[in-house]
Structure 1
Amino acid sequence: MGALLDAWRLAVGTLTAVPVSPPRTVDARTAGRAMLLAPLAAAPLGLLVAAVAVLGRELGLTALVTAVLAVAGLAAGSRALHLDGLSDTADGLTASYDRRRSLEVMKSGTAGPAGVTAVVLVLLLQVAALTSVLREDRGWLVAGVLVCLSRCALALACTRGVPGARPDGLGATYVGSVGPLATAALWLTAAVVAALLAGVPGLLAALAAAAVVVLLLRRTVTRFGGVTGDVFGASVELALATLLVVVSAS
């Protein structure tokens, strides 16, 4: 029970701005459990997005304004951690074909042109797709659940067999901490939830999000020799954008 509580605290404390007590132990086993709990740990973020959507409708705000506020709230609620990872990953992928140079750029913490462009484009995609989703009767519910499901990307990025790019850094403890069967079970559950929520488009959205994350992981492993904490963040943002875009297309 104590180990599970540590994993829960690690997941909530890392992925949200909700204050929690620090875990007593942080090791690969705890990290793996935390990544599997990530969709549940993101529930406060999903509730935040849903609440903004409902409040925006009650106040008579347009779907576009509500979507912007919801995405802004989501960024604040996650301390923009995943957006930072997206920015650094984009900069690393475009900085150089030299692995060491790319990792140095990612570690510098400064945002380059590629990073800024990636963040802007992904946020625009999220806002545009969310605007369409919020026009539906249950849009607030769909949006909130998709936020939680997007965190399944973390388990995929931390699956055993996906190498780490460096032995240190924020993501080192998480690399390879999730078993392949556990990852498959989590994504299967996500696909079922998405299908129950949004029908066939929901199922397709889950499959598309998983495919996008796999493509990102393949590219970063090829370029960097493995994944980093920044790649974890990028996978979440791209998964969310994909889920919203595919569901909104219906």
Structure 2
Amino acid sequence: MTDTYDDQPPPSRLVPPAERASLPDGIRFAFGTLTVLPARITRWDRPAARTGMACAPLAGLVVGVLAAAAGTLLLVLGGGPLLAAAVTVAVPAALTRGLHLDGLADTADGLGCAKPAAEALRIMKRSDIGPFGVVALLLLLLVQVGALADAYADGWVRGASAAVVAAVTARLAMTLASRDGVPPARLEGLGAAVAAVVPRTAAAVATALVTALAAAAALPLGPLAAARQAAAVLVGLVVAELLLRRCVRRFGGVTGDVFGALAETSAAAALIVLSLG
């Protein structure tokens, strides 16, 4: 996710568009914006962004299933949990061209510098990665791979479930970051395109639905597994919310890089919960 910097300040208040795009248009927007999977975007406007960002967890579901399938296949072929975990983490990176990881690194550089907000945004736009970004990338990838390896060590079912739940939670964090009241940091770019497009009620419904489905999917494994998966979603969202608030205070709003950082951070937090017990 990238942004084009504009020196003009963003509007102080955006509201969700009254119009809603059709569900197919929204799904195309979600997949075409958040993944490299073939999806021809038919509308690029705020109504499409409203429906599309509400559908973001669906994109996460597909990415998670593909990642889980790769990891599970390696286990079936005799690979170890660590190898399965590493490949599982690599699949979402490939399906997003590494843009979420790039956003994490850029956001870390922006938060780590001691410059004013405008200069921090310019630093985030540079093509190079600074020391804060390198450290953030290394630590987060280690956490994700380590947590998934622990889950796969208990069997492919638990590892695959962890991969899917983490991917859906990551995209749900984007839905919540697109809710009414969260401003863009710039006038242009993906952050401005999707800022404040999702009504708060829709964001709350999406959160409740994903949490309930995550718990229901684990019920065959017992109530403890169901509770753990629901907790993983909620913990991931809480961590993302804390980072979101920090970014809004620091940059004045959200950018495409911030969305990538929220996705990767919430996924890591969810995986930590899912690796416990």
* Same structural fold, with TM-score higher than 0.5 when normalized by the shorter chain: yes
CA contact (8 A) 2:53 2:174 kept: yes
1:167 pairs with one of 157, 175, 187: 187
How far off its partner does 1:2 sit? Answer: 6.8
Q: How many residue pairs get matched?
A: 249
Residues 58-111 of structure 1: CA distance to partner in whole angstroms, max 9, x if unpaired?
A: 111110011011111221112111111101100100122411110110112321
Is the contact between residue 133 and residue 143 of structure 1 (CA under 8 Å) also seen in structure 2?
Answer: no
RMSD: 1.6
**Is the Cα contact below 8 Å between 2:64 and 2:164 reproduced in 1?**
yes
How far is 1:131 from its partner? 0.6
Amino acid at match of 1:169: G
Matched, 1:150 2:170: yes
1:247 equivalent in alignment to 2:247: no
Q: Please say if 1:14 is aligned against 2:14.
A: no
- Pick aligned residue for 2:229 from 187, 198, 202: 202
Q: TM-score normalised to the size of structure 2?
A: 0.85
Paired with 2:105 and 2:166, the residues of 1 have a C-alpha distance of: 22
Preserved CA contact (<8 Å) 2:182 2:253: yes
Which of 40, 44, 47 is 1:29 aligned to? 47
Q: Which amino acid aligns with 1:209?
A: G
**Structure 1 residues 153 and 233: CA distance shift in structure 2, 3 A:** same
Q: TM-score, normalised to structure 1's length?
A: 0.94
Counterpart position of 2:206: 186
Distance 1:143 1:8 in 2: 21
Once residues 208 and 21 of structure 1 are traced to their aligned partners in structure 2, the CA distance between those partners, rounded to angstroms, is 34
Does the 8 Å CA contact 1:12/1:42 hold for their aligned counterparts? no
How many percent of aligned residue pairs carry the same amino acid? Answer: 42
- The amino acid that maps onto 2:152 is L
The answer as to whether partners of 2:65 and 2:163 remain within 8 angstroms in 1 is: no
1:89 to 95, 107, 121: 107
What amino acid does structure 2 have at the position aligned with 1:232?
F
What is the one-letter code of the residue matched to 2:266?
A: A
Q: Which structure carries more relative contact order (alpha carbon 8 Å, separation 6+)? A: 2
Partner of 1:59: 77
String of CA shifts for 1:104-157, please: whole Å, max 9, x gaps.
101123211111111111111100001111123312233223312321011111
Q: Does 1:117 align with 2:135?
A: yes
